């Protein structure tokens, strides 16, 4: 078998061509790096046997000292590339305490003649040849049509180079104006603060610029390349600073560092983009959420100073970037995403909407009138035509482009989002217990009133372009979870709601549909559809009926509805008899204004105890949990997350304990759940975020 691995072969149904460092998964060719190919070759050579981490280190990194975590990341990346996963292994199996084992079926890839001969056994070689040539004709025709359809987008050869591969996270990428340097922040393994580094693209060396013990993040360059603007924070303070970087890069760490202003350590850091001399665009926060602002800075006598700040009428911003006075930004308004372009000249301020999809990263393109967009894949958008250029490992979270050199840099990586449980006693002492698998991303959950039943939605990796959500149930007295069902393809749950008798789970989706799952039958059934909006979804006390309000059209008035489980249908009710004015303990996030009501309640109660802006930032990260005696909430101090509870009747705040670190934005809102009596608390957090920086070069410079 080993002798033929330099040629094409099949691993399960995946075509592998190690000679050309490529694999074909679900009909799509993907490039494979040399280290991944070496690992795959090693596992296949020892098929049926566990290969230890030590053997992998010696084979893939001979004579090089790397951490044991590098093996884990390489396996994660190879699994991702092949469409495999640790929880449902079909190719690479984890053997506890031993290593990794290839469990796939390996076959030599059949030639065209062998495929025709195989067909001839059933239908005759004539039909096989006819089918082949018809298929060839259809393929040529389809390629011709696709080429004509994409004629406005110039397809250049793309060369990918991974410039970081250390354990930990490398984020906040930014090219210098001349394209010689790439600034980024990195989080070393086991560290809890980011350090600032610059990669020299000419010498291919990395220089650490700042490692002060604070967290240095979101660096960006002035237009002349003489200043590096970045934020520096710790648990109690945050500053925006300007570093003078004119001169040899070896001297930058000793260069003058000036404070431009303060920022909020509870909020995620925001870059400053200069769009014309001395004028920057950055993001800020107020009680209503995020907004963009223009900041005027003078650099006279090498003494940078802010002289004016003007708020822009652009709110609810998730991503933004500036290029030559053109502002590219994405907003999320009332749950709807929108990608826009604005001109920042004084004479022109016209908004152009480009897309209503959501993206995890965006940038101006390397060609005129193009936009770079990313989720799992990196695409170029020109007009209304979007074309995939690159498929990454995990989510692409950032991208920056230097159009002059026709090169881009992006971060790609994976993270674990898992749920943990705390049982809080009278002394506020608690021990964390992990509830869900570290191999999955668990983004949404619900807890029964008695704390005995926990249900959660977990993202599967069956389809990178359209992930599916699995619904799981765990009982407090059972060690493992059981699968309730899988949401239909493309349906994203936004609310899980257990019935009071714990027999049913209602799921509200982003597309305004309601699904019902019985804990006995374990089948996902759609029970409410054909509405443009659904709100105030809640169970009757006996768990036999679902009440909700709905709109049959965007401009229509609200209607009251009741779904009866035993009848399996909904009936409209008189709106006058509909009473959604329940106590906060009986409401959920589907109630109109619920989240804002809880947040403003806490801010009013805690205004004299905590900094209001820090509190607002923390409450936007973690949705608080209302229970019988008060509210659980999380306060973000720098990167540290601390769990508190506010006791309403006593008007008292109690600190429970630190619950972990929040090192990098990527999930817009995390959860806290509490049983009705407040003794059982469940929360999720981001763990083990691992990312690398990849450079892409587009055609000839």
Q: Using one digit for the tens of pLDDT, what is the confidence trace for 300-338? A: 999 999 999 999 999 989 899 999 889 999 998 766 788
Nearby residues of 158 by Cβ (< 8 Å), 6 or more positions away:
389, 390, 696, 697, 698
**Confidence category of residue 632, pLDDT binned at 50, 70, 90:** very high
Strands 533-539, 545-551: pairing kind: antiparallel
- What string of DSSP letters covers 506-559? EEEETTS-EEEEETTT--EEEEE-S-SEEEEEEE-TTSSEEEEEEESSTTSPPE
Tell me the CB-side half-sphere exposure of residue 134, using CA atoms within 13 A: 6
pLDDT single digits (tens) 656-697? 999 988 876 655 578 999 999 999 999 988 877 788 999 999
Please give the share of the chain, as a percent, with pLDDT higher than 90: 42
What pLDDT was estimated at residue 287? 75
Largest CA distance in the chain: 86
pLDDT of 225 above 60:
yes
pLDDT of 22 above 90:
no
The first and second tokens of residue 59, run together, are: 């084979």
With left for phi above 0 and alpha for psi between -120 and 50, is residue 496 left, alpha or beta? beta
CATH fold of 2-108: Arc Repressor Mutant, subunit A (1.10.10)
- Pick 159 or 416 by higher pLDDT: 159
The domain segmentation of the chain, as residue ranges, is: 2-108, 112-149, 425-590
What pLDDT was estimated at residue 660? 85
Contact between 371 and 363 under an 8 Å Cβ cutoff? The reply is: yes
Is there a common fold for 2-108 and 425-590? no
What pLDDT was estimated at residue 337? 84
Tell me the CB-side half-sphere exposure of residue 661, using CA atoms within 13 A: 15
The reply to whether CATH 3.40.50.720 applies to domain 425-590 is no
What pLDDT was estimated at residue 413? 83
Nearby residues of 195 by Cβ (< 8 Å), 6 or more positions away:
185, 186, 187, 188, 208, 210, 211, 216
What pLDDT was estimated at residue 355? 83
- 348 exposed, middle or buried (CB, 10 Å; 0-12, 13-18, 19+)? exposed
pLDDT single digits (tens) 513-533? 999 999 888 889 999 998 999
**Confidence category of residue 634, pLDDT binned at 50, 70, 90:** very high
Instruction: Give the separation between CA 461 and CA 486, rounded to whole angstroms.
Output: 12
The first and second tokens of residue 117, run together, are: 């001969």
The arithmetic mean of pLDDT across residues 360-373, rounded, is: 90
Least confident of 419-428, 529-538, 601-610: 419-428
**Confidence category of residue 200, pLDDT binned at 50, 70, 90:** very high
Nearby residues of 142 by Cβ (< 8 Å), 6 or more positions away:
none
Strands 670-674, 622-623: pairing kind: parallel
- What string of DSSP letters covers 106-169? EEEPPPHHHHHHHHHTTT-HHHHHHHHHHHHHHHHHHHHHHHHHTTTS----EEEEE----SEE
**Confidence category of residue 278, pLDDT binned at 50, 70, 90:** very high
Given the structure tokens 């590098």, which residue do they identify? Answer: 70
What pLDDT was estimated at residue 27? 66
pLDDT of 396 above 80:
yes
The arithmetic mean of pLDDT across residues 539-560, rounded, is: 91
Average pLDDT of the residues of the chain: 84
Q: Which residues are registered as beta bridge partners of 631?
A: 626, 646
pLDDT single digits (tens) 45-80? 888 889 998 898 888 888 666 667 778 888 888 888
pLDDT of 549 above 80:
yes
The first and second tokens of residue 276, run together, are: 């014309």
């Amino acid at each position: 078998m080993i002798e033929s691995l330099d040629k094409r072969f099949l691993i399960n149904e995946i075509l592998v061509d190690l000679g050309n460092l490529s694999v074909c998964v679900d009909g799509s060719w993907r490039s494979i790096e040399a280290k991944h190919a070496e690992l795959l070759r090693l596992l296949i050579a020892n098929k049926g046997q566990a290969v230890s981490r030590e053997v992998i280190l010696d084979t893939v990194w001979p004579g090089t000292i790397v951490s044991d975590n590098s093996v884990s990341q390489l396996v994660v990346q190879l699994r991702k590339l092949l469409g495999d996963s640790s929880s449902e292994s079909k190719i690479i199996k984890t053997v506890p305490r031993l290593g990794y084992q290839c469990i796939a079926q390996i076959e030599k890839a059949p030639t065209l003649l062998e495929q025709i001969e195989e067909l001839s056994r059933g239908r005759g070689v004539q039909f096989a040849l006819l089918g082949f040539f018809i298929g060839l004709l259809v393929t040529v025709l389809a390629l011709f049509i696709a080429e004509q359809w994409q004629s406005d987008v110039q397809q250049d050869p793309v060369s990918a180079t991974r410039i970081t591969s250390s354990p930990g996270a490398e984020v906040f990428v930014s090219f210098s104006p001349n394209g010689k340097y790439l600034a980024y922040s990195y989080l070393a393994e086991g560290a809890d603060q980011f350090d600032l580094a610059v990669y020299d693209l000419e010498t291919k060396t990395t220089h650490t610029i700042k490692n002060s013990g604070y967290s240095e993040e979101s660096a960006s360059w002035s237009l002349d390349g003489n200043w590096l603007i970045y934020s520096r924070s710790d648990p109690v303070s945050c500053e925006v600073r300007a570093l003078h970087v004119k001169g040899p890069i070896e001297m930058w760490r000793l260069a003058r560092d000036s404070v431009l202003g303060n920022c909020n350590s509870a909020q995620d850091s925001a870059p400053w983009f200069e769009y014309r001399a001395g004028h920057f665009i950055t993001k800020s926060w107020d009680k209503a959420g995020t907004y963009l602002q223009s900041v005027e800075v003078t650099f006279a006598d090498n003494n940078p100073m802010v002289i004016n700040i003007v708020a822009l009428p652009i709110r609810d911003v998730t991503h933004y970037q500036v290029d030559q006075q053109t502002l590219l930004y994405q907003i999320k308004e009332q749950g709807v995403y929108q990608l826009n372009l604005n001109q920042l000249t004084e004479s022109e301020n016209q908004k152009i909407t480009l897309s209503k999809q959501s993206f995890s990263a965006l940038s101006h393109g390397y060609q005129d009138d193009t936009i770079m967009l990313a989720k799992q894949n990196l695409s170029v958008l020109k007009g209304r035509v979007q074309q995939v250029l690159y498929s990454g490992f995990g989510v692409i979270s950032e991208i920056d482009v230097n159009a002059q050199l026709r090169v881009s840099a992006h971060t790609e990586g994976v993270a674990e989002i898992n749920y943990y449980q705390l049982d809080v006693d009278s002394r506020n002492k608690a021990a964390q217990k992990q509830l869900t698998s570290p191999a999955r991303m668990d983004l949404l959950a619900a807890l029964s009133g008695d704390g005995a039943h926990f249900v959660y939605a977990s993202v599967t990796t069956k389809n990178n372009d359209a992930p599916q959500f699995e619904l799981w149930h765990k009982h407090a007295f059972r060690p493992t979870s059981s699968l309730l069902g899988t949401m239909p393809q493309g349906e994203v749950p936004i609310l899980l709601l257990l019935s009071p008798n714990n027999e049913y789970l209602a799921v509200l989706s982003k597309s305004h549909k309601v699904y019902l799952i019985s804990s006995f039958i374990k089948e996902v059934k759609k029970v409410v559809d054909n509405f443009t909006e659904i709100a105030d979804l809640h169970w009757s006390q006996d768990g036999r009926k679902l009440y909700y309000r709905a709109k049959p059209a965007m401009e229509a008035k609200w209607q009251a509805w009741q779904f009866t489980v035993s009848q399996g249908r909904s009936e409209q009710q008189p709106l006058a008899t509909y009473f959604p004015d329940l106590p906060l303990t009986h409401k959920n996030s589907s109630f109109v204004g619920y989240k804002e009501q809880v947040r403003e309640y806490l801010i009013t109660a805690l205004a004299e105890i905590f900094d209001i802006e820090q509190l607002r930032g923390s409450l936007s990260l973690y949705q608080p949990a209302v229970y019988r005696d008060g509210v659980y909430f999380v306060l973000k101090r720098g990167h540290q997350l601390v769990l508190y509870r506010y006791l309403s009747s006593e008007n008292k705040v109690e600190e429970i304990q630190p619950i972990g670190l929040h090192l990098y934005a990527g999930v817009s809102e995390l959860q806290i759940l509490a049983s009705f009596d407040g003794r059982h608390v469940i929360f999720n957090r981001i763990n083990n975020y691992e990312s690398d920086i990849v450079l892409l070069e587009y055609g000839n410079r």
